[in-house]
Amino acid sequence: MIHGYRFQKVSLRISQSGQRVYFNTESHKDFSVLKGIALSVGYENALFGSTFGFRVDEKKVLDESHEAHLLVFGNDIAPNERMLFFETPIPIHSSKLEGIYTDSALQSLLGNISYSPGGGVIAQTDVNVKKTYVSGKDIVSYSNAVVDVLPAYNASNVAVVGGGGTAMSGAGATAAAPPPGTPPPPVYYPYDVKITMFLSKQ
């Protein structure tokens, strides 16, 4: 016998600056609706700019640029309100649940040059981080940003490529120890992201 609800969880470990982590899992077979979702992120500083996309049976629920901080909560919130509850619960029957979390720490590398002379509005398709973390080859590249002031903690790992692009070794960004007197990096790696999905039988 099981109860009529379940908090199904997926844990992700973010090991690199700018890392994207994809997961897919199957909803528990005994539950028929997905009522809500919440994220729990290890470090608050990791939130700004981080995104989380979510699909159920290949249908988009949250697009990939959905901000992660819209799905988290603090301890100042009543425990029963710490979730994004869907207005209409999503029907599931051993459904495929997919998500993709993108770390934002590259945000600090965007620099101070306006990307768009047309008013600073950046099209959703022009997300700056193009190459994702693949098979341990942690190459992250920028297409639209010019980095002119780099944080000291990863400066040694950044090489400027022509045309305003920048390539960076994500591994170095986390491994290099800051020189004495340098402020600590805003995000510490690795950190965990826990996704909690509220399943119900009705």
Partner 1 sequence: MKNNKFQRIRLRVSSAGETLRFNAVCDKGFRTIKGIYVSLPQDKAVQGATLGFRLNNVEVLDDGHEVKNLTATNSVAPNNKFFLFPEKIEAAGGSIEGRYTDGSKYPLLVDNGEDSGVYDPGKVDFKNLAGYTTNPFGVVFPYDVIVNIWLTNEG
Per-residue x/- marks for partner 1, 143-182, CB under 8 A?
A: ----------------------------------------
CB of 42 or CB of 164, closer to partner 1 = 42
Q: Does 132 bind partner 1 (CB under 8 A)?
A: no
Q: Does 194 bind partner 1 (CB under 8 A)?
A: yes
Helix (H, G, I), strand (E, B) or coil at 141: strand
For residue 50, the minimal CB distance to partner 1 (Å) is: 13
CB of 15 or CB of 143, closer to partner 1 = 15
Q: Does 184 bind partner 1 (CB under 8 A)?
A: no
For residue 194, the minimal CB distance to partner 1 (Å) is: 6
Q: Does 86 bind partner 1 (CB under 8 A)?
A: no
CB of 13 or CB of 60, closer to partner 1 = 13
- Rg value, the chain, Cα: 19
Q: Mapped to the 3 state alphabet, what secondary structure does the chain carry?
A: CCCCEEEEEEEEEECCCCCEEEEEEECCCCCCEEEEEEEEECCHHHCCCCEEEEEECCEEEECCCCEHHHHCCCCCCCHHHCCEEEEEEEECCCCEEEEEEECCHHHHHCCCCCCCCCCCCCCHHHCCECCCCECCECEEEECCCCCCCCCHHHHHHEEECCCCCEEEEHHHHHHCCCCCCCCCCCCCCCEEEEEEEEEECC
Q: Does 30 bind partner 1 (CB under 8 A)?
A: no
Q: Does 11 bind partner 1 (CB under 8 A)?
A: yes
Interface contacts to partner 1, rule CB under 8 A: 1-5, 7, 9-15, 19, 21-23, 38, 40, 42, 74-82, 101, 133-136, 188-192, 194, 196, 198, 200
